[in-house]
């Protein structure tokens, strides 16, 4: 893991400084909030952990207001069970914002919310990104959500990023067989869906070669054999993809195949 271009330092002091710069928004706001803590205490917790020297009351008020809970004072003494699901998620977002982080990691931030509230929370995250200069790393299974909010997409399989690039490039011209399979089952997809067989391997016993090869339709159909990479798919591990803005794919077959030009 690298952050700010440097490998993450796992010493206690360095991790505490890192956690102030990177905050987490979890999927289930009900599970994220302590039912015995008021909204004020929930948002102020990070400030107290990191020894905030400014005006705590003002910082909590500003964070709640930015998260769309106005007037913030009306929510100070409320408990999580007194709030709606959308309001609870806004409290969680306020708790992340109060430390003025550089990056928010949002794990399925709208999956547990009603459809009527999902758009409001997504619009809030996009607005905060623009107003505060935040970066957001959103973890999701919803490719439609990724299409609507992301600048870049990283597709993961068995704990490893297999393809990454600009959202338009990845979702309109996928190169990795796993990405192709994911997109083939969307309602708007053209052509026949790719149905993967078998189960994902045990993460504690990762297979040799490409992690996807046991379920890969390109290998099963003989295309990898014709491209001369079938043995590499089964035996040669692929390196971890580097960061950067360019499109990257971890696939022996995709690396051997010519890249189609897109307008």
Tell me the pLDDT of the chain (263 aa) as tens digits. Answer: 889 888 999 999 999 999 999 999 999 998 999 999 999 999 999 999 999 999 999 999 999 999 999 999 999 999 999 999 999 999 999 999 999 999 999 999 998 888 889 989 999 999 999 999 999 999 999 888 898 899 999 999 999 999 999 999 998 999 999 999 999 988 888 889 999 988 888 999 998 999 999 999 999 999 999 999 999 999 999 999 987 788 999 999 999 876 544 44
94-144 residue pLDDT tens = 999 999 999 999 999 998 888 889 989 999 999 999 999 999 999 999 888
- Measured CA to CA, the distance from residue 103 to residue 168 in angstroms comes to 23
Q: Give 30's Cβ-side CA count (13 Å radius).
A: 8
Q: Which helix (H) or strand (E) holds 22?
A: strand 22-25
Per domain, the residue ranges of the chain are 2-139, 171-251
Among 199, 194, 198, 191, smallest CA distance to 178 is for: 194
**DSSP β-ladder status, 6-7 and 2-3:** antiparallel
Q: Which CATH number fits domain 2-139: 3.40.50.300, 1.10.240.10, 3.90.1300.10, 3.20.20.10?
A: 3.40.50.300
Length of the chain: 263
Residue 12 vs residues 17, 125, 212, 224: alpha-carbon distances, Å: 9, 30, 36, 46
Among 108, 132, 128, smallest CA distance to 118 is for: 108
Q: What is the SS3 assignment for 197?
A: coil
Give the pLDDT score at 261: 41
């Amino acid at each position: 893991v690298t952050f700010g271009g440097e490998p993450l330092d796992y010493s206690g002091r360095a991790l505490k400084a890192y956690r102030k710069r990177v905050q987490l928004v979890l999927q289930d706001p009900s599970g994220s909030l302590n039912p015995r803590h008021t909204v004020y205490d929930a948002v102020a917790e990070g400030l107290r952990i990191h020894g905030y020297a400014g005006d705590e009351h003002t910082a909590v008020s500003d964070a709640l207001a930015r998260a769309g809970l106005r007037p913030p004072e009306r929510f100070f003494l409320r408990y999580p069970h007194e709030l709606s699901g959308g309001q609870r998620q806004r409290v969680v977002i306020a708790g992340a914002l109060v430390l003025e982080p550089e990056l928010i990691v949002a794990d399925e931030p709208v999956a547990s919310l009603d459809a009527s509230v999902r758009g409001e929370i997504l619009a809030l995250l996009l607005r905060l990104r623009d107003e505060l200069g935040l970066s957001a790393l959103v973890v999701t299974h919803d490719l439609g959500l990724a299409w609507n909010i992301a600048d870049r997409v990283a597709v993961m399989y068995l704990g490893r990023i297999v393809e990454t690039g600009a959202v338009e490039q990845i979702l309109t011209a996928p190169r990795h067989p796993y990405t192709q399979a994911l997109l083939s089952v969307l309602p708007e997809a053209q052509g026949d869906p790719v149905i993967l067989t078998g189960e994902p391997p045990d993460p504690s016993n990762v297979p040799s070669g490409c992690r996807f090869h046991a379920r890969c339709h390109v290998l099963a159909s003989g295309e990898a054999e014709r491209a001369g990479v079938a043995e590499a798919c089964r035996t040669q591990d692929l390196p971890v993809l580097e960061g950067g803005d360019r499109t990257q794919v971890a696939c022996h077959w995709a690396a051997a195949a010519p890249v189609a030009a897109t307008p």
